[in-house]
Chains A and B, each alone.
Chain A
Amino acid sequence: MNLRDHKIYRIQEIRELTESAFILRFDRHGLNFMAGQHILIGLEGSSELREYSVYSGEKDDFLEILVKEVETGMVSKQLKKLKVGDPVQVESAVGFFRINKEDIDKKLLFIASGTGIAPFHSFIKSYPGINHTLLHGIRYSHEAYESESYEDFRYISCVSKDQKGVFKGRVTDYLKQNRIEENTLVYLCGNSDMILECKDLLEEQGISNESIYTEVYF
């Protein structure tokens, strides 16, 4: 049957990005996924699993996720405590937040808040040469997770609480001040308030709902 299969993966590498955000790398174990999909992860033997977008690329021989520890949370705190070599259980990839084959050559706008940048990192690594712009909404400029991995002219950090962003203000402020080209496909990922506000602003600019794809984290 279509049982949800759990497999045990061991942590190969941990990259601390900020005090609360980190990247976990695992062996790929042949896991199939399409950029934009997420996996479910939890401690070995636990019934508490959470969704994490795959951060790494489709062709990488490892699997990575980008996690932010949530103060009031559970699994993100457990993941934060793990060390290299520790086991986690992983369920296979799932999700419809993907770039359709026929859209790959179109103009793409990626809008993320916080760790919502993870699927976009995977898109960009998986499909080199895609015509994209990435807006990253963060509070402080040090939360521009691995921003050096993106082409400068394509990555726009929108920083609301310090002055060091490429754009000073929230992604919604950016949208108010910048016109999005017609025929752009827009992908939104992160918290639902940001997504809802952006959708309204995009609609005002004439971007239709059919051209907008969303992935809500919380």
Chain B
Amino acid sequence: MKKIAFKTLGCRLNQFETDSIVSQFHHGDYEIVDFSEVADVYVVNTCTVTKQGDSRSRQAVNFANRKNPDSLMVVTGCMVNNHMDNSQNLQDVTYFVKNEQKSSIFHIVESHLGGEMIIPSDLKPDTFNYSPADKTMHTRSMIKIQDGCDNFCTFCIVPKVRGRAVSRPPHDIMENIRKVLDFGFKEIILTGVNIGRYDSQDWNFEKLLESIVEISGDFRVRISSIEPDGYGDRFIELLQHPKVTPHLHLCLQSGSDRILLQMKRMYTSSEYRNIIDKIKREIPDFNFTTDIMVGFPGETEKDFQQTVSMVEEIGFSHVHTFKYSIRNGTRAARMEDQIRGNVKSDRSEIIRKLAEENKLTYRRTFIGKDQRVLIEKINRKGIAKGYGQHYIPVEFPANSYSRNDFAEVQIKEINRGKEPVLVGVV
């Protein structure tokens, strides 16, 4: 039996796509091993959104090559789409597979091992040809509803590497969801690059969400990362539906209107606040997480302070902080006044510390309250771990509960590790 190992860098969409590919190999004649082990086949699903993404992707390929120089090495994902030329500098890669052929990796590997070399770019492109991931891997099932982006934010390479926005037909999505619910999944995560701009056959994101929550059964829907534009009040109403989890990763990027304009984001800081206020008015303990980019060209201390104030004021429970890095081919790469690396690091550290405090403060508010936890695993000591509806990690004695059960947990305290975890009892 051939051993195969996977490494995924970057976003949820990449994770979803890897999971689906892993499942195909799982059903085939392969042993899936950890990436740190010696394998016959390595698949690295790369990221190019930041310089760090590029370098981590390269490191992963080089690492695998050192582990087994004779392995079949498949490199896929956004780094391949972004710079085929640079990716070619990587040593001993058997196949570079662009995003549009990524779903064919199983076929490429199988053919190779059967003695046939396929040229990946000759394969028919397909963005949505991913079967649902295996239930043995996760208790949550990601559903890809959309790919690509037309927003053209000035810093962002995504429109180049993922292409123009395209939405998966609603009936395919509904069928996919019914299928994963039949498999026994109890949580689905709607995934894409810019899901708020979902647009297919006259269905917008609200209409899609509305139809999803109408499906019968005991499951919940998580809206992963979403841009703060492109949807209306109906969306806020839908967030109050019992099947929709009270959590959004609502990308802010900056608290400065000047910088938001230069980034070509489609909202102002006050429009962003308005969305938060509207949601909080209806669901006061709603969980907001966000992305912040520090060191965008021309970001002054004043601009940065506006971001800090907003992070403080909104009290995001988690902030993914990015240091701006030049992505060739984007408008921001051509902007004057690029910010020095040490300034970016300092600003990033300020946001990181603030975000950590916010996280603890927010999570503490759950002590004494209930969380409906979907159990992801139960350790040897009988402690169940999973996430509550607000997307906060919770631990509790499992008692008679099993993996993939929902449990009503009363939160008693908070475990103050690097990642504060709520501790409770059923």
- Listed in ascending order, the chain A residues whose CB lies under 8 Å from chain B are 1-4, 47, 51, 92, 94-96, 192, 195-196, 199, 209-210, 214, 216, 218
Contacts and interface: CB of A to CB of B under 8 A. Distances in A.
Interface stretch (B10-18, B41-49, B257-265, B407-415): B257-265
Which of A92, A94, A195, A210: most chain B CB closer than 10 A?
Answer: A94
Nearest to A188: B261
Interface string B160-176: 10111110000000000
Interface string B87-112: 00000000000011000000000000
- Size band of the B side of the interface? 20 to 34
Contacts of A210: 271
B271 A2 contact: no
A2 B261 contact: no
Contacts of A195: 261
Contact of A94 (B99, B100, B164): B164
B100 A3 contact: yes
Contacts of B424: none
B270 interface: yes
A147 B151 CA distance: 31
Interface of B: 99-100, 125-127, 147-148, 150-152, 159-160, 162-166, 257-258, 261-262, 264, 266, 268, 270-271, 329, 331
A209 B268 contact: yes
5 contacts: A1-B125, A4-B164, A95-B150, A199-B257, A209-B270
Given A4-B160, A195-B261, A209-B268, 6 more contacts: A1-B163, A1-B166, A2-B164, A3-B164, A4-B164, A218-B331
Contact of B125 (A3, A92, A95): A3
Contacts of B270: 209
Contacts of B257: 196, 199
Contacts of B329: 47
Nearest to A210: B271
Nearest to A3: B163
| 4 closest A-B pairs by CB | A2-B166, A2-B163, A1-B100, A1-B125
A94 B266 CA distance: 14
Given A195-B261, A216-B264, A94 B271 contact: no
A1 B258 CA distance: 35
Contact of A214 (B127, B147, B164, B261): B261
B165 A2 contact: yes
B150 A94 contact: yes
B258 A2 contact: no
A192 to B, nearest CB: 5
Given A196-B257, A216-B261, A216-B264, A1 B127 contact: yes
A94 B152 contact: yes
Contacts of B147: 1-2
Contacts of A218: 331
A214 B329 CA distance: 23
Contacts of B126: 1
A209 B271 contact: yes
A94 to B, nearest CB: 5
A195 B268 CA distance: 12
A4 B261 contact: no
B190 to A, nearest CB: 18
